[in-house]
Structure formats: C-alpha cells, structure tokens
Amino acid sequence: MPASEGRRTDWPSWVPAELAAAFGRAGVPAPWAHQAAAADHARSGRNVIIATGTGSGKSVGYLLPALTGVLEGSTALYIAPTRALAADQLRMVRSLGIRGVRAAVIDGETPAAERSWARAHASYLLTTPDMLHHMLLPRHSRWDGFLRRLQYVIVDECHGYRGVFGSHVAHVLRRLRRVAVHHAAAARGGAAATACPVFVLASATVSEPGRCARLLTGLDAEAVTESAAPRGPVTFCLWEPPLTTLRGEAGAPVRRTATAEAAGLLADLVTEDIRALAFVRSRRGAEAVAMGARRALAEAGAASLAPRIATYRSGYLQQDRRDLEDALRAGTITGLATTTALELGVNISGLDAVLIAGWPGTRAALWQQAGRAGRDGRGAIAILIARDDPLDTYLVHHPEAILHRPVEATVLDPGNPYVLAPHLCSAAAELPLTRADIELFGPGAAAVADRLTQRGMLRPRGPWRYWTRQGRTAAASLRGTGGAAVRIVEESTGRLVGMMDEPSAHVLAHTGAVYPHQGEMYLVTRLDLADRVALVEARDPGYATSARELTRIEVTAGLRSASWGAAQVHFGDVRVTRQVTSYVRRQLETGQPAGETPLDLPARTLRTRAVWWTISAEQRAELAGRGVDLAGAAHAAEHASIGLLPLVAACDRWDVGGVSADMHPATGRLTVFVYDGHDGGAGFAERGFRAAGDWLRATARAIESCECGAGCPSCIQSPKCGNGNEPLSKHGAVRLLECLLQGGDAISPPQR
C-alpha cells in the first residue's frame, strides 16, 4: 500500500493562540485539512463523525473544539471503549500543558480522592461507557457542576461499539443526552428547552459513518472521511502456515497453528531488533505466543533476548499495563503479544511490524490492527496469519475479499428489548420518564415501557413514569457477559489471580482447564459456581484445553422468511439451551485432541435470534437417493457457514452458534440454524439473513475448493463443536448447499 503525502491548512480563526502554540510544541505546526474540517463542524454546533485511517490524527479534530470550549468555561466528556485508551488520552492532554484545562480520568481503578477532585474541578473528563452507566449517570446530581456546562461529548473508536455492547452504549448515550439537557435547563431556570451537547465521534475503520453515528447517538452527524494526513508505505502479507506431518481426526494433514507460527515470527523479528506487535484473538493465545517466542529464542541460542518479549491483555493490573505500554514506547520491549486490549488508539509510534494471528472477525478490526504499524511515516509490514479455519483459508485464497471490499457497516440493534428494558429502568431511576423521553429511546420503547409498567417496575403518575424501587436499578452489564464475576484464586496461597464472567468460566475455568496468566500456566483444580470461585494451582501440564457444549434450539417466533425455490430461509426468535459437557486436552503445537474428560455443569438458557434454512421433503429425498449422508452434510454445512458468516456480518465466529439436524423437530425438515450468542440477539443473524445468497455461496465455494479429501479445520471442522466434529460429510455439504442454492435468481427475493 503506497505512501501518501499530507495536506495541511491554517488553524481555524476561532482557535485560541495558546492552544495553537501548545499543539505546535507537541509537534503539530498546523492541522491537516480533515482535522480542521471536523473541528469546524463541531464548533458550529453540528454533530460530526471523523472516519479516517489509523494514525491520521483524529484526536486533533476533536480536541480543538473541546479544549477551546473548556478555555471558554464549558466542559467536555471523552468516552473510550477501554481504560487503556482513556489513560493514554489523559497523558496526551496533560502533555499539552494548557493552563485552565483540568483533565481527569474516572474508571474502575480511580481512587476515591481523585474521583472527588474530578467532581469538583475537572473540565475535561475521560471515562468509559461502563463507568458512565454504572456511576456517573446514576449519581448525576453529584456531577451537576460538570453536566450543566457540558458542551462536547467525544465518542472515540466508535466502530468498537457493535453487537450487544454497541446497543447498550447507544442507550447510555441517550441517557447522557437526557441528563445533560436536564442540568443545563436547570442552570437556566428551566424556562426554555436546551440543546444537547455536540457529539464528536471518531473511528479509523467504519462503513456508513453517518448511519453509525445516528445508531449510537440518535442524532444526525456530518461525516469527515477523506484523510489529509501523510502515510508511510505498508506491505500487507497473507501468510498460510505450512502443513505438518501429522494427520487430523479425519485423516487430513494438519497445519501448524497460527499461534505457533506467530510465536516463531515474533521471535525472528525480535532477533532482528524489529519492533512488533502480535495480535492474538484470545487471552490464552496471547500468553501462548509470548511463551512460544521465548522458547524459540532459547532454542536459537538467543535466550538473553527473552525479556524483550511480553504479553498485554485485559485482566492485568492497571500499573502493569501502563508499565508495558511505557516499555514498548521506550524500546525495552520490542515484541509484544496482545489481545484487542491494545488494538484501540493507544498511541505507540515507531512500530515496524504487526502480526495478526487469525482473522480478527471483521475487515474493520483487520485494518485497525494493521494500521498500528508504520505510524511514524516509515515503511512497515503487516502480516495476517491464517488459522486452520474455513474463513481464514477462504480469505488467503481469495484476497480480493479483503483488499477490494469496504469495511463492514456497524451492526447493532438499540431496539433489542432485552437491552432496552434495563436502560428504561435506569433512565427512570435517574429522572422520571416523559412521553418525549421514551421516544428518545426509539420506536419500540413505548411498548417496552408499557410492559415494564404492567410488571410493576415503572409507575405512572400524571405525564411521568417513575422507577418503583428504592435506590439504584439492577444495571445491566454493557459487555453482554451477564452474571456475577468468578474469581480465579491460587489454592495454596489464596492469591487472586484474575476474574472472568460466569458464562466464560463454564468454558475457560472449568475443573481441569489450563488457565494461562502473565506467562504462567495454571491448572484449575475446582470450579465452584455457588461461591463463584475457580481454584487453581501453578502448573504447566504441557497441553491446552477446550470445552465442548451440547446445544438444543426451539423456534419461538418467525419474523421473516424468503423462498429459494423449494427451499426456504428464515429469521426469527429462538430459545437455545447450552450445556458444557466435557473438555478436550489438545497438543500445543497442532491443536489436535489428546483425550476427553466429562464435566457436570448446569445448562444455561439463551433467548436470542437466529437465521435458519430448510430444504423440502422432495429435495431431501433426492439427496438421500444420491447417497448423501444427510446428518453429516447438515452438520458440515453448519460449521462452514458459521465460519463464513463474518464475511457478511460484522461479527466473530465466537459471537454466534449453530445447530443442525437431518430432521429438526422445530421445522419437520432438514434444518441448519445459526444464532446470535447474546440475549435478545446482536444483529448478526439478521445480517446473515439479508445477505444469505452471498454468504452461503461463499460457504459452498470454501468447502469445495479446500485441498483436503474428507474435511479438515480449514473447511468443515469446528474448534468448538460439541459433538467432537462427528458426523461430518464434506461431499454431502457441497451437494446440500448446491441443492439449497439452485433457486438461482430467487436467492435475493423480497423479504416478507
């Protein structure tokens, strides 16, 4: 990707001289054209979204109006999706050294004394949606001095607000609008309606930015999309790990895992003193890459370089994360294996290389991660390392699906009643709800408010509805995890090792699980869900573990359907029952199974939305007559379609689940379901329904073009299959999908 030159412009006339001088001292002699354009929109009272590339300096675009307003006596609120990004932005604002700008961070680790100072003095406040939801809005009266002068709200890295998390954040922002207007009106005697603060959103990677802004804030926004910043050349590489001499469950050759490949490449880069990040999809994977890279250095006789490799992920203490960020900036760490915790915005320049171990779920996330390389204008390299997975394999053999297609549109559903209901309760607890307030939360809010009233959670009184209970509401988790946290405790010492939500504990901290943390391996000796604790001992057993789940699904309501000749595609509400039944020990190098152990864990129920497709009885009979293993074909098609769904929906394969059956009781037909893995749905299954033709055609091509004979992880095997990848039929899946798609022009019919 070639370099591009920058285009600067003059400071806007309204920017105070002291602010321009401060930016000049920080190395910004004048703004890039897109920064000035976004700043002018916000200064004129127009909501704006800055959607330009990673490293294009979006922060100047929102800081110019926000800090100008602060110097004039207003306040500004900056919202980041992660605490690391908020802390990084605080560091940057304070480094400008502008008198009159009193900046402070409020997050879950802020001491009480600093919170008190922020309430009394802060004019530029930085926080996360979680803290806004759980602390600032429920106690908004204590923040009256800040809220009544609130002029600008900055929503950074807004492409990260998608799915259930994004739907929650959309309602948090509507609650913020409502509370800010209330305090501003009260400060003016309440005589006249007061405009809400100006919203400035920023994202390096978002499609349809104006639509994204409206979904999140409920307000129209101007979009600034053309970057005028310079960019160094970046070489983008697609890397497929080699085949090993081992054979998998179906007898097919096994590829080296993406984490093992990333570990080897990271070690090579560190040996050559090339500063690199390795993005890994899971906390466990990040730890494995760092440990593997250190082993590779030791085997190469370069063990003295091992301290230059580290891991960065959520779950670390705040000071540990800050120390790692500083060490990477200073160059004492040159190889860092990280999860998406370091994907968003933390300003670390001078990186020469980025490794991406496995497709990160969306093109938006891919370019966000790749954009971390070459930020100082020099040449850089970004490498996507394919996992043994249907989508990864498809993409490395069809690079046009990455390089010649725009990033995905933001997928979120503020109308999800499971998301909306707790926010209406929270809003009513903050201030009594009026009819206009309810309309602020969307067209479906009135019906949800009526149901809450019938259940006695809201009480009508005149034109208002009140929260009926004392104190604060039982606020929902914005991250959609649900349940109280499970503590990871070292059994011999009582030391707290880490935390995770209960659904994750079923999968990652069950009895017998291998749990990595900060380069150390722990074995879970007992998971006690009643006491919400997983007891561990420091031990590396030499293998990894993965849980297996059994899943049942019922259709509760069909919402839309489309006919593809004799076949049909549906979208609707479903009830899913899931239960972790066992775990598999897997070899570290190949991921191949090495034994299975049963577990006794309770079932969990999920009410969500799904896309499902069926073939007719005649089509089924025809396939059976041709010798197709129908159960294996449906199961294989289910796995592959889940793997390919991120091609058309802004999701990760772990965001969704699937069920298939030769004859499913809910439909009486051969059926394949793909469902959202969040209560109420996340919008992914709906996007799959809308793009079903493209999605399932790509699925058929991915299976048919795979080099294996009987099926492998690159096409039809799944790493999270609850049935041990049995039965599976690669040939049958191709025939089944051909039968489904033979409707031809009927593939994209009007939806009803």
| 3-state helix/strand/coil string of 313-370 | CCCCCHHHHHHHHHHHHHCCCCEEEECHHHCCCCCCCCCCEEEEECCCCCHHHHHHHH
What local confidence, expressed as pLDDT, does residue 312 receive? 84
Burial profile 168-191: b = 16 or more Cβ within 10 angstroms, e = fewer: bbbbbbbbbbbbbbbbbeeeeeee
Give the gyration radius of the chain's Cα atoms.
26
Q: What is the distance between the alpha carbons of residues 31 and 34, in angstroms, rounded to a whole number?
A: 8
Q: Verify that 203 and 137 share a domain, yes or no.
A: yes
Residues 566-599 have pLDDT tens digits of 999 999 999 999 899 999 898 876 667 888 999 9
Q: What is the DSSP string of 100-115?
A: T--EEEESTT--HHHH
Q: Verify that 104 and 188 share a domain, yes or no.
A: yes
Confidence (pTM): 0.77
Would 27 be classed as within a structural domain? yes
Banded model confidence at residue 745, pLDDT cuts 50, 70, 90: very low
Flag whether pLDDT at 409 surpasses 80: no
What's the chain's average pLDDT? 88
Q: How many CB atoms lie within 10 A of CB 722?
A: 18
Contact of 204 with 53, CB cutoff 8 Å: yes
Characterize the bridge pairing of strands 222-224 and 198-202.
Answer: unpaired
What local confidence, expressed as pLDDT, does residue 5 receive? 87
Would 191 be classed as within a structural domain? yes
What local confidence, expressed as pLDDT, does residue 636 receive? 95
Would 311 be classed as within a structural domain? yes
**Of the spans 152-161, 366-375, 706-715, which averages the highest pLDDT?**
152-161
CATH number, domain containing residue 286: 3.40.50.300
Q: Verify that 618 and 731 share a domain, yes or no.
A: yes
Reading phi first (left if > 0) and then psi (alpha if -120 to 50, else beta), residue 72 is in alpha
What local confidence, expressed as pLDDT, does residue 362 receive? 75
Would 411 be classed as within a structural domain? no
Instruction: Give the rounded distance of the alpha carbon of 181 from its chain centre.
Output: 31
Mean pLDDT within 213-230: 94
Q: Verify that 89 and 214 share a domain, yes or no.
A: yes
- Quick one: what percent of the chain has pLDDT higher than 70? 91
What local confidence, expressed as pLDDT, does residue 719 receive? 64
Residues 298-330 have pLDDT tens digits of 999 999 999 999 998 766 666 777 788 788 888
Would 332 be classed as within a structural domain? yes
Would 305 be classed as within a structural domain? yes
Banded model confidence at residue 139, pLDDT cuts 50, 70, 90: very high
Mean pLDDT within 541-551: 86
CA-to-CA dists, residue 214 to 52, 166, 413, 442, 670, angstroms: 18, 12, 12, 11, 40
Banded model confidence at residue 343, pLDDT cuts 50, 70, 90: low
| Element holding 209 (H helix, E strand) | helix 209-217
Residues 594-633 have pLDDT tens digits of 889 999 999 989 999 999 999 999 999 999 999 999 999 9
Residues 643-659 have pLDDT tens digits of 899 888 867 677 789 99
Would 249 be classed as within a structural domain? yes
What local confidence, expressed as pLDDT, does residue 476 receive? 62
Q: Verify that 367 and 391 share a domain, yes or no.
A: yes
Q: Verify that 652 and 668 share a domain, yes or no.
A: yes
Flag whether pLDDT at 39 surpasses 90: yes
- Domain carrying residue 494: 485-540
Residues 461-481 have pLDDT tens digits of 989 999 987 655 555 677 754
What local confidence, expressed as pLDDT, does residue 471 receive? 54
Q: Verify that 525 and 551 share a domain, yes or no.
A: no
Would 217 be classed as within a structural domain? yes
What local confidence, expressed as pLDDT, does residue 509 receive? 92
Contact of 246 with 19, CB cutoff 8 Å: no
Mean pLDDT within 211-235: 93
Banded model confidence at residue 501, pLDDT cuts 50, 70, 90: confident
Mean pLDDT within 709-738: 83
Q: Verify that 71 and 143 share a domain, yes or no.
A: yes
Contact of 76 with 52, CB cutoff 8 Å: no
Banded model confidence at residue 750, pLDDT cuts 50, 70, 90: very low
Residues 107-119 have pLDDT tens digits of 877 889 999 999 9
Flag whether pLDDT at 191 surpasses 80: no
Contact of 121 with 145, CB cutoff 8 Å: no
Q: How many CB atoms lie within 10 A of CB 654?
A: 14
Q: Verify that 579 and 658 share a domain, yes or no.
A: yes
The total number of structural domains in the chain stands at 5
What local confidence, expressed as pLDDT, does residue 590 receive? 66
Contact of 656 with 585, CB cutoff 8 Å: no
Banded model confidence at residue 121, pLDDT cuts 50, 70, 90: very high
Phi, psi of 103 (to 5 degrees): -100, 145
Q: Verify that 279 and 299 share a domain, yes or no.
A: yes
What local confidence, expressed as pLDDT, does residue 751 receive? 41
Q: Verify that 534 and 558 share a domain, yes or no.
A: no
Q: Verify that 675 and 535 share a domain, yes or no.
A: no
